[in-house]
């Protein structure tokens, strides 16, 4: 399973990339706004740090506007993946991008029917938002399982990118289900390596090492 970081903070991205485990980056207008920097400046900085798929989102909600933005975003760097909302105008833009060899990440997916439409439109990635479904008392990972089942049944090439990840258990479940990608905040990436028995064991080893004659 590929690991993407869900942030627009270039400092966090550099640190995560230094681990040697980072495959890509996802951003959205909210994350970009938190940086206080111009949109294109942030995206270009990220492209200099990570050699992998980098999702940059359109802000128009009509087909012509999204199509224009998609073309402009694709010109920034070859690794740009155009992030498009899962609305009908968005699906029209996904099909246009597919026909023009522009990779897409269809975002804000909350149902298997939406995911099916995105795959038929030619999406490169589909982003089910598991955390937001959990927030309203739905099992977000159930949606991921349904999407994977449907995509496998019809051999769709669209990759399942598990998004809105809140904790390591989401990552574990995504990996067990066979999701293609999991995108997560910097904090969750760092939580993945943590285990109290590892810390206790290391502390014991280091304490015993002090007793070894030098």
CA dihedral 77, 80, 83, 89 (to 10 degrees): 60
**Distance (Å, rounded) from C-alpha 106 to C-alpha 94?**
8
Q: 95-103: long-range contacts at Cβ-Cβ below 8 A with a sequence spacing of 24 or more? A: 95/121, 95/122, 96/63, 96/67, 96/70, 97/70, 97/122, 98/122, 98/123, 100/71, 102/70, 102/71, 102/74, 103/53
Positive or negative, the CA dihedral 200, 203, 205, 207 is negative
**Burial class of residue 61 (count of CB atoms within 10 Å of its CB; 0-12, 13-18, 19+):** exposed
3-state percent breakdown (helix, strand, coil) of the chain, nearest 5: 55, 20, 30
Three-state DSSP at 116 gives helix
- What the block records as the tokens of 100 is 């023009």
| Enzyme catalytic residues | 83
């Amino acid at each position: 399973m590929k690991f993407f970081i869900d942030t627009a903070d270039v400092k966090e991205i550099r640190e995560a990339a230094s681990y040697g485990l980072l495959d890509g980056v996802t951003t959205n207008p909210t994350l970009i706004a938190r940086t206080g920097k111009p949109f294109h400046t942030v995206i270009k900085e990220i492209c200099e740090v990570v050699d992998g798929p980098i999702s940059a989102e359109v802000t128009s909600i009509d087909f012509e506007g999204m199509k224009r933005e998609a073309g402009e975003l694709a010109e920034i760097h070859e690794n740009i993946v155009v992030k498009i909302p899962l609305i009908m105008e968005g699906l029209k833009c996904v099909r246009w991008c597919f026909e023009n060899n522009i990779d897409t990440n269809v975002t804000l997916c909350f149902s298997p029917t939406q995911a099916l439409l995105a795959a038929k439109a030619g999406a490169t990635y589909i982003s089910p938002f598991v955390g937001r479904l959990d927030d309203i008392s739905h099992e977000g990972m159930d949606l991921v399982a349904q999407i994977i089942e449907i995509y496998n049944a019809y051999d769709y090439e669209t990759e399942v990118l598990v998004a809105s990840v809140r904790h390591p258990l989401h990552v574990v479940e995504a990996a067990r289900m066979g999701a293609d990608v999991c995108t997560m905040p910097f904090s969750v990436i760092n939580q993945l390596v943590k285990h109290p028995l590892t810390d206790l064991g290391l502390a014991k080893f280091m304490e015993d090492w002090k007793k070894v004659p030098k």
